[in-house]
Amino acid sequence: MEYFLGSAITMIAMFVTTRLISFNKVDNKKDIPRYSQSHIHMLILPLLPEIRKYKKKMITQSSKHEERTNVKVVIMDNKAYFIKNGTFYCADMHGTEIDGANATSVDTMAMDKVQLDKMLFIMDQLRDGNKDDSGDSRNK
């Protein structure tokens, strides 16, 4: 019996001691940031160059369809300039409407240097982004 009484007192003393220690324990846990790939990316984002400059345009079925069906138009000096079937056209504007029925092909042989530079600027704007315009040697 004396062993049982000693064991019971020891168990009670251990229980009380652990309770006192756990109540007085200071919570030293700090909010440690989770180092994930997205967290690190957000930290270094101001140091990264703008990614849209280096991102290539995706070629999809819808973008191919849009290129086949739509025509790019540059409006300058109340005239609309566009390229259709490999020919450079000029059409008059009536308010906000383009008179496509009376479009004429542009004759660049009879132009002076100022007019020719203007037409080259317009053509560069129309061909912006096209890889099939034969404008480079393709030696990359």
Amino acid 129: pLDDT: 57
| 102 within domain boundaries | yes
One DSSP character per residue, 41-59 reads HHHHGGGSPPGGGTPPPP-
| 25 within domain boundaries | no
Domain extent at residue 115? 73-126
| 139 within domain boundaries | no
Amino acid 96: pLDDT: 84
| 53, 59, 60, 62 alpha-carbon torsion, rounded to 10° | 80
| 64 within domain boundaries | no
pTM given for the model: 0.49
Q: For the chain, what percent of residues have pLDDT higher than 90?
A: 11
Which residue ranges in the chain fall short of pLDDT 50? Answer: 133, 138
Give the chain's domain count: 1
| 9 within domain boundaries | no
Amino acid 10: pLDDT: 93
Amino acid 76: pLDDT: 86
Amino acid 70: pLDDT: 87
